[in-house]
Structure 1
C-alpha cells in the first residue's frame, strides 16, 4: 500500500492511501479537504474511501467536500454515527473493511473519545491509530477513563513489532521531552529523543513510528513495566493507576 503524509493545520497528519493492485484510493482523517483535493488532482487519483477514526472536526472536517467531489464511501465508528455527518459504513470492534485488494481490521479504542476506532492493515503492516496512540504518547482523555484508554493501548500494543504507526498529529518532540522525565534511565528512549530532535530540526516528520519502538520507549505503553513503576514510586501498583499518573503528569507538563 502506498501511504503519503499530508500535513494540515498546525500539526495534523492526513494520510492518503493507494492500493496499487486495484487502484483504490483512500484518505484517513481528512480534517481539511483542500490539501487532499490538491494532492489527488496532482496525482490524478480518484478517491474511493474516506476513513475516520473519531468525530473531532480536525479529523472529519473535509469529509463532506471530498464526498461531494468523488462520491467516496465515508467509513467510521458505529458509536459515533450521530456525530460524523455523511457516514455510510459504520464499524466496530472485530469488524473488517475491504480496501481494494487489502483488508483493514477495526479496533474499538475508546479513551480520547468514547467512540474512537483504529484501522490495522496487516498486509501493509500499517496501523492508523488516530488520537489514541501517538509516537511516544497517547491522546488526552476527553471522553473516556484511564481504564478505557489503558485497555485500548494494550490492545494496540499486542500487534506485531514491525507494525508502522500512523497517528493523527506531529506531537513527537514534545512527547519525547516529557517521556524522559518519566523514565530517565531508559537508554533507548534517550537515544530516540535525540534522533527526534534532529529530525524536527531538519523539518522531517517523525511519523511513522513502529510498535516495537513504541513498546520500548513510550511511557504510556509501559505502565505495567516494573522499571517504569519504580521510577514513579509506584512499584507493584495497578497498571491503570500508573497509567493515570503518567497521563496526569503529561496533562500538567
Structure 2
C-alpha cells in the first residue's frame, strides 16, 4: 500500500503530461446539451475505428473515465460539473486509426478525451494527495463470500437497491461501493482474483417489511463476507483549477 501511494502521484502526473503530447487527436468533435435519454443511463462507446461517443454524461463522470479516477476524488470545479449532461461525438482522421487496433485498454482514447476536455472546456487541473473520510473494505467475521468468476469479461449492473457484477476485482468492487456509499472506499482485502457477486439491500429511507433486504452495510457483511470500516485515508485526487462551458462546435 505504501508503494502504491508513492506511485500513484507519478502515474497521475504521467497521465496529465501524456494528454498534452499524445497523438492521434480528434479531427472533429461535437458537444451538445444531452437529448432526453430513453433509459436515463449514461453510455460511453469507443469502438476500434477512432470514434468516441458519450451520451447523457456529466463532465465529472467523463473525467472519471478519462483519468481513471473515481468521481469522489475529483474535487472543486463549478456546480454544473456533476449536474449538466452532454452528448459528445468525436472522430479521428481516417489516417490515424491504426494506433487503436493494439490498444485493448483504450489508453490512447482516454488521453485523447483528456485533450478534448482541455481544448473544448478549457479544463486545467492538478493532482494532489489528500486525507479524506473513507471506508476501508476489509473481511467480515467468517471471511469472504465472494465467488470466483465464471466470466471471461467484466459486467456491472447497479441501481438504488442492488449491485451485481461479473469478473470484478476487489479494487473495482471498492470503486463501485464508493459510488453507492458516497464516500471513498479503499480495498484492504489483498485479494487478487476476479469475482462474481450479487448484492441486494434496502435503502435507509425505504419502508421496511418482513421480506425486505437488510441495510447496505449489513448486506455487504452477510452477502459478500466483507465489511466497510470508517476511517480516513490519504488518497490521490484531481483538483480542478479551471473548467468553462464548452466552446462552440
- Same fold? TM cut 0.5: no
The structure with more radius of gyration = 2
Give the TM-score normalised by structure 2.
0.28
> Please, what TM-score do these two structures have when normalized by structure 1?
0.28
Higher relative contact order (CA 8 A, sep 6+): 2
Q: Which structure's residues are more often helix, by fraction?
A: 1
